[in-house]
Amino acid sequence: MPDLLSESEGRSYTIFMTRRTLLQSSLAALPLQGQTPKRVGLIGCGWYGKCDLLRLIQVSPVEVVSLCDVDKQMVEKAADIVASRQASKKRPRIFHDYRQMLAQKNLDIVLIATPDHWHALPMIEAVKQGADVYVQKPISVDITEGQAMLAAARKYKRVVQVGTQRRSTPHLVEARERFLQTGKLGKIAYAEIYCYYHMRAATNPPDTPPPSYLDYEFWTGPAPMRPYNELTHPRRWRAFMEYGNGIVGDMCIHMLDMVRWMLDLGWPVSVSSNGGILIHKNTKSNITDTQTATFDFGELKVVWTHRSWGTPPDPQYPWGATIYGDKGTLKASVMGYDFIPVDKKEQPVHKDVTYELEQYPEDKTEEALERHVAPAIRHHMLDFLAAIGKRSKPVADIEQGHISTTSCILANLSQQLGGRTLVWDASAGRITGDAEANRLLTRPYRTPWIHPDPASV
């Protein structure tokens, strides 16, 4: 099997998905005559697991053969939906334990859409078993997990795409090409990224026994054990730092990764962050409701703000990025973009999100689908499939996901440590001159789960 392409070669593959290139990629995703479709398995059959899998089915005649989830009701429902949507109409096999599913060694592609604390171990096992992987963001809940995931992907020479699909969002790809790669913004020294959604749980429901259809012990896995609460499952587990990295790990990573991609940025030199629970103090949730973070890239600073209360400064951009240049400003979000030139003689440009409801009418009725995001997921899947065919790096390669994830985790560690600046040594994978912070790079796993080691994956 050939080695994956170099980073520069991988970047050169990132292109704008015009109708023509979309068609070419769609055709490239089709199996050649006489070849069988890619065999696919999904681990984590909740909201976004189904969103990802059903978009993959839309763009390629894959055969979904296996589904895995510790929620019996969730996996059964997913199996019914997949059987109704895939070409063969076959119902996938159902698994409770991802290790048993992967031990079959019959999967070409594995999608992982579990809660964040369950990303690392299934991803590493999947690449060991020879599968290419699409893993949701953030790739990990601690930095050592991410290092181990990257090491495993490279060791076993697998293609791994991370679900930071802003890199494949049609109008954002256009904005990058039209205004950033052409230098229309001029010299760029500052970018703001932000989220003002009221997305932090503000209630305080009582703890209860877990429902009979959920294996809560397995669901908790390597994370610290908490009493079961209705905020935990399904979908609302991000209320707790035990399972993820709060709003920074959920929303900041998308916008930080988008800005890094748009501006061709690598690792930040340092990260600092302040925040806390300032408003909703009497709730079960333990994530911050207010937080700022500065990602220092040398001559360019990227500053994050989230506030899950109050009103956004710009109601048209409650979650997005504003990139400032001396010749113009670009505001970008999942819903569109605006270019505002400094020169008043030049016309501003506005673009709305691209929908594909006529090409994919099932989007109109699919439960809980973010319809404005569906095209981005499809394009992200097409990029993933093309990379598999070429054995190249996809646009959101695991290394890029690791950089963006680690940067967000460093922000949370800085906030946890009172806001001090953490200087990152990317070559060593360590924080410079801070023993206390370095001890937090690896979060203890709950017995009997064993934390992955980057040196021995």
3-state secondary structure 250-263: HHHHHHHHHHHHHH
3-state secondary structure of 187: coil
Indicate whether 286 and 383 sit together in one domain: no
Indicate whether 269 belongs to any domain.
yes
Indicate whether 255 and 375 sit together in one domain: no
Determine the pLDDT at residue 36: 86
Determine the pLDDT at residue 16: 37
Which domain-ending residue is among 377, 397, 417?
397
Tell me, what DSSP letter sits at residue 71? Answer: B
Indicate whether 131 and 209 sit together in one domain: no
Structural domain of residue 428, as residue ranges?
170-355+403-438
* Pairing mode of beta strands 160-162, 188-195: unpaired
Question: How would residue 2 be classed by pLDDT, with cut points 50, 70 and 90?
Answer: very low
Q: Taking the mean position of all CA atoms in its chain, how far away is CA 68? A: 20
Whether 8 has a pLDDT exceeding 80, the answer reads no
Backbone φ/ψ region at 224: left (φ over 0), alpha (ψ -120 to 50), beta: beta
pLDDT tens digits, residue range 135-160? 999 999 999 999 999 999 999 999 99
pLDDT tens digits, residue range 60-106? 999 999 999 999 999 999 999 999 999 999 999 999 999 999 999 99
Q: Which of 280-284, 328-332, 377-381 has the lowest mean pLDDT?
A: 280-284
Indicate whether 446 belongs to any domain.
no
Indicate whether 454 belongs to any domain.
no
Whether 271 has a pLDDT exceeding 60, the answer reads yes
Residues 98 and 125: beta-carbon distance below 8 Å:
yes
Q: Which residue has the higher pLDDT, 120 or 33?
A: 120
Determine the pLDDT at residue 3: 40
Indicate whether 453 belongs to any domain.
no
pTM metric for this prediction: 0.93
Whether 233 has a pLDDT exceeding 90, the answer reads yes
Whether 194 has a pLDDT exceeding 60, the answer reads yes
Average pLDDT over residues 401-429: 98
* Count: domains in the chain: 2
| CATH classification at residue 70 | 3.40.50.720
Among all chains, which residue has been given the structure tokens 């795409």?
A: 161
| CATH classification at residue 174 | 3.30.360.10
Indicate whether 234 and 369 sit together in one domain: no
Indicate whether 245 belongs to any domain.
yes
Determine the pLDDT at residue 317: 98
Q: Distance (Å, rounded) from C-alpha 457 to C-alpha 254?
A: 27
3-state secondary structure of 91: coil
Whether 289 has a pLDDT exceeding 70, the answer reads yes
Indicate whether 277 and 378 sit together in one domain: no
Rg value, the chain, Cα: 21
- Nearest to 378, CA basis, from 16, 59, 45: 59
Whether 341 has a pLDDT exceeding 90, the answer reads yes
Q: Which of 6-10, 293-297, 339-343, 374-378 has the lowest mean pLDDT?
A: 6-10
Indicate whether 303 and 372 sit together in one domain: no
Indicate whether 137 and 241 sit together in one domain: no
Determine the pLDDT at residue 28: 46
Residues 127 and 65: beta-carbon distance below 8 Å:
no
| Amino acid found at 345 | K
Q: Distance (Å, rounded) from C-alpha 118 to C-alpha 228?
A: 17
Whether 32 has a pLDDT exceeding 90, the answer reads no
Tokens for 262, please give them.
């748009």
Indicate whether 292 belongs to any domain.
yes
Taking the CB of residue 202, how many other CB atoms lie within 10 A of it? Answer: 16
Average pLDDT over residues 423-434: 98
> Which run of H or E residues covers position 321?
strand 319-325
Indicate whether 111 and 137 sit together in one domain: yes
Indicate whether 325 belongs to any domain.
yes
Bridge partners, 25 (sequence order): none
Indicate whether 299 and 375 sit together in one domain: no
Indicate whether 123 and 235 sit together in one domain: no
Indicate whether 200 and 64 sit together in one domain: no
Whether 15 has a pLDDT exceeding 50, the answer reads no
Average pLDDT over residues 353-374: 96
Can you list the positions of beta strands (E) in 96-178? 109-112, 132-135, 160-162
Question: How would residue 34 be classed by pLDDT, with cut points 50, 70 and 90?
Answer: low
| Amino acid found at 208 | T
Determine the pLDDT at residue 188: 98
Indicate whether 2 belongs to any domain.
no
Indicate whether 31 and 58 sit together in one domain: yes
Bridge partners, 423 (sequence order): 270
pLDDT tens digits, residue range 343-359? 999 999 999 999 999 99
